[in-house]
Structure 1
Amino acid sequence: MAADYDEVRSDVKETQERSLEDLQTVNAPDARSVVTELDEADALDDGLIPGGEIISDELIVQVIPQAADEFTCYSCFLVRHRSQRARESNGHAYCVEREG
């Protein structure tokens, strides 16, 4: 007797039908309620950091201008001391780390 190996076994077929019925009977949330919940969650996220703490402080950073003995590397864009200058070409200075 030949066996059809592509045919779904009866026990698997019953399980699939039961799981489909279970999914159909589950109360799915309304799309509008999901959007409302997401909007409320986004509103609560303002001012939170990954640890969940609320930050209301402003960060104050003092910017110091580039000194006369410093240069900005044209390759890595970091401000370096003049002793770290490797070469200068076309008006652009390059640091030792980028040339090495």
Structure 2
Amino acid sequence: MATDYDAPRKTEEEAGEEPVAALRTRRHDPQSAVVDEDEAEAADGYELPGAELSTEEVLVRILPAQADEFTCASCFLVRHRSQIALEKDGMLYCVDCRG
């Protein structure tokens, strides 16, 4: 359907005014209880927090910390040495955890 962009448009006041009879009939319309099948299929793919994952197998290759890396004493993330913010009591802290 083509839209005529040159046609006069309703003002905000006119757009807000709707016949009372139309509002009353719309109020009593039954709402659809049908669920969109695409949404239901999409919901099946989500894992909820606390879900049972003992049957899942994860294959991850774990590498030891490299010579140019350190483990932050606060967040325990392995970071590059350029991210060292401070050293306190022999412990290294990253720039995100300096405090």
Q: TM-score, normalised by structure 2?
A: 0.42
**Larger Rg: 1 or 2?**
1
Greater fraction of residues in helix:
1
